[in-house]
Structure 1
């Protein structure tokens, strides 16, 4: 019974954690097996938590998460995972997108609230995609609204920084522009 509970809680928790960015990224990854490597795993049945500690590496297809610790907490009412907390110096996430590009994120702590459908990166947070970068003390992504909010921590005095990489035109578009300019 304990083993079945452990497998169900761990599977539900990790599937929910890893499927957060699935709406915009490598959907095929979420059909792949999940492999978790850690130095330790602790299951507290009464508290409804699973904690993976020590050099945690989670792989599923092209998705890769590195953290010092990952804690999964389930809701007592629904017997389903509700909150996920990955921490590290920093905790990192990367995944290849369906268009072949990749997205990376990192923060001291990455939290996912399943009920609120939010992903919150706290402490030295940054998200990078296609050469563009967003940095802040706290970055919150609302999956339902598809809104991103980057904020500073007033104590740190750091400002939010966004760097947009100009889109690169393919050679054909460049050649057409050059031909038009030479007339």
Structure 2
């Protein structure tokens, strides 16, 4: 099968198709940020003065319904408030999940590195990136997702041919069951 170069208009259409996926990915449960942060790791190096904590060894961080895992997780704080989390996966990809309000389900994200900027509500998935909710998925080399604006920007690696392209699977809308009489 011969692969033709994509016209710019087609790339814009792919980006627009990606926006169809975004409404399913609304913001997290409001109470999550009010919950305590719990961390389980093999080791911890904490510098309260600089506001940087580094946890190593099958790290699991939870706050309410938000869960982040990785081989190394670095947490940045300012005045005891969480500002940024960086999760890195060496043996396996780092993982992020968060329960969304209503019937929207759980947002799941994977990447060799996950950067979560709490102040801007931005999640950046780097290398082997994947974003999924209710069967809809994005895969690519890098995915940026803004929780507040509900925008996704996914990029592939053109030098890797078909494997380096952004791929999306968007499930058909489920029809509501007909009411019985």
Partner residue of 2:59? 56
2:43 matches 1:37: no
SS in 1 for 2:31: helix
SS in 1 for 2:124: strand
Partner residue of 1:169? 175
| Two-structure CA RMSD over aligned residues (Å) | 2.9
The CA deviation at 1:79 is 8.6
Q: Give unpaired runs (5+ residues) of structure 2.
A: 1-24
The CA deviation at 1:170 is 2.0
CA distance in 2, matches of 1:31, 1:83: 16
CA distance in 2, matches of 1:170, 1:143: 27
Alignment of 1:5-154 (within 5 A): 24-44=27-47, 48-73=51-76, 82-88=83-89, 89-100=92-103, 101-114=105-118, 117-143=121-147, 145-154=149-158
The CA deviation at 1:24 is 1.1
Q: Which has the higher contact order (CA 8 A, sep 6+)?
A: 2
CA distance in 1, matches of 2:38, 2:84: 20
Q: Which aligned segments of 4 or more residues in structure 1 are displaced greater than 6 angstroms?
A: none
Q: TM-score, normalised on structure 1? A: 0.70
The CA deviation at 1:142 is 3.3
**1:135-161: CA deviation from partner (whole Å, max 9, x where unpaired):** 111001234543210001234341000
Aligned length: 152
Partner residue of 1:156? 160
CA distance in 2, matches of 1:115, 1:30: 12
CA distance in 1, matches of 2:99, 2:110: 15
SS in 1 for 2:158: coil
CA distance in 2, matches of 1:113, 1:102: 19
Q: TM-score, normalised on structure 2? A: 0.70
Greater helix fraction, Structure 1 or Structure 2:
1
The CA deviation at 1:39 is 0.5
